[in-house]
Amino acid sequence: MRTALGEAGRAALAGDVPVGAVVLSAAGEVLATAHNEREITGDPTGHAEIVALRRAARKTGEWRLTGCTLVVTLEPCVMCAGALVQSRVERVVYGARDEKAGAAGSLWDLVRDRRLNHRPEVIQGVLEDECSRQLTAFFRDR
């Protein structure tokens, strides 16, 4: 999560919402790191999770990220939750809850919806205070 927090700081420096993500292999190797890139790229899908999943898939040469863990500073939104299910990650670890748009337990629970073909494990609240403070400071300064 500390690596993801560092990535989130890079997003804030670029004027984007400070969200960072890391994809770990089943062996715990860092496959990819990323941060929000919507502002710098003009891409509405430039969320940290999506960017990290794309990079991890390129590195492994496989779209199925079976056995992988995605660590992210903010609870994934609906778009990112859908990508996590589609990529077949085994686990999602997040820091701050997102009561307005969270899709991994707060507002919705898309990643654990029994109607879907894959349901990753969800671990929430890891370094939650630090993740929340980073987001709060960013929006307060804006």
| Helix (H), strand (E) at residue 38 | helix 38-41
Please say whether the beta carbons of 17 and 101 come within 8 A: no
Active site residues: 49
Report whether 35 belongs to an annotated binding site. Answer: no
CA angle 54, 96, 87 (to 5 degrees): 25
What are the binding residues for Zn(2+)? 47, 77, 80
